[in-house]
């Protein structure tokens, strides 16, 4: 049956051909194991970003803005009129676990004189720099850039506190002219050195204005490529650089905690046994960066799974239009740039797909599948690209949504099970469960027989799944006291776990509200998903390459 719809490939054919060439002399049976060792080490590999500049430029405030923290929040970088940063301090990015931001002390103070600053801070330790200035470009700023350029490291040039300058201008025209002048002042000095880095004009206190969002979006996209380049360079030095370079590279990685000793040992053993060197590593990592994961959302019609998708990709109800994602046009979000979210509905849309693997969100009609997808995507039901939600059966065909911050993840919203359109007995066959990598089983109100039928089918395929109870805000709202609300939540969890334990299963169970994402366990769901999806991607990618190298492009695709 030709449904006239196109399912995007998980990886482009040119990447397939490149992988095929570099593995031509390898034994196919050994490749998956080697790949997992490599991808595990790559997943653990840390990238270090130094935020540097003169004292008082607003470095610490910028770090807090990037981390999404207020100055008084736990774990925030200390800020103030006095010199608050006295030593290089590391901050872990909450949504990018492989990124470490380093707040360096301000340059040009009695504690850190300009001449000795770079040596004291040991610029060689860092993979990238954010050079922060305020008010105007000074000589010290250009000295920093000279040192960064000598090390051939990438950097951003960031002008902070622009809200102070703009506030002094009375008219809109004069404000625009002031912003243009600030940019020209920054670019003038960079062009004199024949440099063309990204230049951002930001306010750390008013992050929705100016270019803070542009900075964060650019950083999220480019840091993945940077990680692959730095990791490949490290392997090249460790495996091909001779004894001195190899020892220096290994010591550097161990001392900075960029990799654990066991990961370094595994890479060394892999190379000694197979000669799996930097060229193959680069080809694998390039293909991995383009590889897509697909998540399908299944459950009851009207259960709110599409609203969940919107919440996940970051759209708000009032921002959505009538248009929704489809199989040929997935929902995408900067939150998950390598994730595609699919709203899968309708028999005609899913009968003949030959995709290798996706993630599925499934359940009975009315369980809140679409609402769940929206929540995961960070969208509101009315946002552009949000999954349609409603009391009636809104999901009629399989629809894909791209995750904003995980570009390799595609979420699929499947039609609700147990309606006249999708009878329970034929549902699994119609939805073709073999296509998906992972499932989100969505229920509302109570666990029903259909939910457990879905889990039986998922277990037969040995695929991971989350068990998600939606619309719990409705149940909690009916309780008058805080105590009765807590008891209600405990009862909901026990009800879910009871049926799972009967089948000797122990998946993650989440109690969520797609309309109130700050309460209950929506954040826990998203945090768990972000952490586990990297390992899942590595496993699926390795299996995909195994099929590809044994069966060719058509079989793998």
CATH number of the domain encompassing residue 81: 3.40.50.300
In degrees, to the nearest 5, what angle opens at C-alpha 446 toward C-alphas 443 and 451? 50
253: in domain? no
Q: Using the predicted structure, report yes or no on whether residue 184 has a pLDDT greater than 50.
A: yes
Residues 319 and 175 in one domain: no
- Give per-residue pLDDT as tens, 32-89: 677 777 888 888 899 999 999 887 888 889 999 988 888 888 888 887 655 555 678 9
Structural domain harbouring 187: 47-210
Whether residues 193 and 304 share a domain: the answer is no
> Domains in the chain: how many in total?
2
* 392 and 301 within one domain: yes
* pLDDT reported for residue 156: 96
| Domain boundary, last residue among 504, 520, 536 | 520
87 and 203 fall within a common domain: yes
Reported confidence tier of residue 342, pLDDT bands at 50, 70, 90: low
Q: Has residue 206 been placed in a domain?
A: yes
Q: Do the domain assignments include residue 236? A: no
Statement: residue 255 has pLDDT above 80: no
Cα distances (Å, whole numbers) of residue 364 to 340, 373, 458, 470 = 22, 15, 15, 12
Other CB atoms closer than 10 Å to residue 115's CB: what's the count? 8
Give the model's pLDDT for residue 480: 64
Q: At what angle do helices 13-22 and 522-556 cross, to 10 degrees?
A: 70
Q: Same domain, yes or no, for 297 and 206?
A: no
Within-domain flag for 414? yes
Domain boundary among 187, 210, 233: 210
- pLDDT over 50 (residue 167): yes
Structure confidence at residue 355 (pLDDT): 33
The arithmetic mean of pLDDT across residues 321-329, rounded, is 42
Do 204 and 348 lie in a common domain? no
Flag the least confident range among 31-45, 125-139, 474-488: 474-488
Q: What is the pLDDT of residue 112?
A: 55
Identify which has the larger pLDDT, 375 or 328. Answer: 375
Q: Do the domain assignments include residue 96?
A: yes
Least confident residue range of 92-101, 202-211, 420-429: 420-429
Distance CA(333)–CA(217), nearest Å, equals 10
Lowest-pLDDT range of 72-81, 146-155, 211-220, 477-486: 477-486
Residues 206 and 302 in one domain: no
Tokens of 86: 């006295």
pTM of the model: 0.66
Contacts of range 391-395, beta carbons closer than 8 Å, 24 or more positions apart:
391/302, 392/301, 392/302, 393/301, 393/302, 393/365, 393/419, 393/421, 394/301, 394/302, 394/306, 394/345, 394/370, 395/301, 395/305, 395/306, 395/343, 395/344, 395/345, 395/346, 395/369, 395/370
Please check whether residue 18 lies inside any domain of the structure.
Answer: no
Domain assignment of residue 59, yes or no: yes
- Do 346 and 484 fall into the same domain? yes
For the record, the structure tokens of 335 come out as 């939150």
Domain co-membership, 91 together with 201:
yes
Same domain assignment for residues 485 and 337? yes
- Residue 311 predicted with pLDDT over 90: no
Mean pLDDT computed over 369-376: 73
Confidence of residue 265 (pLDDT cuts 50, 70, 90): confident
Q: Which of 210, 237, 252 is the last residue of a domain?
A: 210
Same domain, 205 and 303: no
User: No. of H helices and E strands in the chain?
Assistant: 19, 15
> What's the pLDDT at 47?
93
Residue 273 lies in a domain: no
């Amino acid at each position: 049956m030709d449904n006239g719809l196109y399912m995007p490939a998980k990886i482009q054919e040119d990447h397939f051909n490149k992988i095929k060439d570099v593995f031509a002399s390898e034994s196919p049976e050994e490749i998956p194991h080697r790949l997992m060792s490599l991808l595990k080490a790559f997943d653990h590999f840390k990238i270090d970003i130094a935020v540097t500049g003169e004292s008082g430029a607003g470095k610490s405030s910028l770090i807090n803005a990037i981390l999404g923290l207020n100055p008084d929040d736990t774990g925030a970088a200390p800020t103030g009129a006095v010199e608050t940063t006295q030593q290089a301090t590391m901050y872990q990015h909450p949504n990018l676990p492989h990124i470490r931001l380093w707040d360096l002390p301000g340059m040009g103070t009695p504690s850190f004189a300009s001449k000795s600053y770079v040596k004291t801070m040991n610029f060689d330790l860092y993979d990238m720099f954010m050079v922060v200035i305020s008010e105007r470009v000074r000589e010290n700023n250009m000295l920093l850039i000279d040192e960064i350029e000598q090390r051939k490291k990438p950097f951003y040039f960031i002008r902070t506190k622009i809200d102070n300058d703009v506030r002094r201008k009375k008219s809109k025209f004069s404000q625009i002219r002031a912003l243009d002048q600030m940019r020209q002042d920054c670019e003038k000095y960079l062009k004199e050195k024949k440099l063309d880095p990204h230049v951002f004009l930001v306010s750390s206190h008013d992050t929705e204005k100016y270019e803070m969002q542009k900075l964060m979006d650019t950083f999220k996209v480019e840091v993945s490529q940077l990680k692959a380049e730095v990791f490949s360079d490290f392997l090249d030095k460790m495996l091909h650089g001779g004894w001195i370079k190899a020892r220096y590279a290994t010591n550097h990685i161990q001392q900075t905690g960029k990799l654990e000793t066991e990961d370094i040992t595994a890479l060394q053993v892999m190379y000694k046994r197979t000669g799996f060197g930097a060229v193959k590593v680069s080809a694998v990592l390039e293909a991995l960066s383009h590889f897509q994961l697909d998540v399908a959302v299944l459950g009851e019609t009207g259960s709110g799974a599409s609203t969940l998708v919107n919440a996940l990709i970051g759209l708000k109800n009032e921002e959505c239009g009538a248009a929704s994602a489809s199989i040929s046009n997935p929902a995408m979000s900067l939150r998950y740039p390598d994730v595609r979210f699919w709203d899968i509905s309708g028999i005609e849309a899913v009968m003949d797909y030959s995709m290798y693997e996706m993630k599925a969100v499934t359940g009975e009609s009315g369980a809140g599948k679409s609402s769940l997808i929206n929540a995961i995507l960070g969208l509101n039901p009315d946002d552009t690209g949000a999954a349609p939600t409603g009391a009636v059966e809104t999901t009629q065909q399989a629809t894909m949504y791209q995750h904003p911050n995980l570009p390799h993840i595609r979420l699929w919203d499947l039609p609700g099970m147990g309606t006249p359109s999708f009878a329970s007995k034929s549902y699994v066959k119609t939805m073709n469960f073999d296509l998906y990598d992972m499932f989100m089983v969505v229920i509302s109100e109570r666990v029903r027989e259909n939910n457990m039928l879905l889990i039986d089918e998922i277990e037969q395929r040995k695929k991971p799944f989350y068990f998600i109870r939606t619309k719990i805000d409705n149940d909690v709202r009916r309780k008058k006291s805080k105590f009765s609300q807590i008891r209600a939540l405990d009862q909901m969890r026990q009800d879910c776990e009871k049926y799972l334990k009967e089948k000797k299963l122990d998946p993650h169970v989440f109690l969520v509200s797609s309309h109130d994402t700050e309460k209950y366990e929506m954040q826990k769901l998203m945090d768990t998903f972000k952490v586990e999806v990297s390992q899942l991607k590595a496993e699926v990618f390795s299996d995909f390459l195994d099929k590809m190298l044994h069966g060719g492009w058509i079989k793998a695709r």
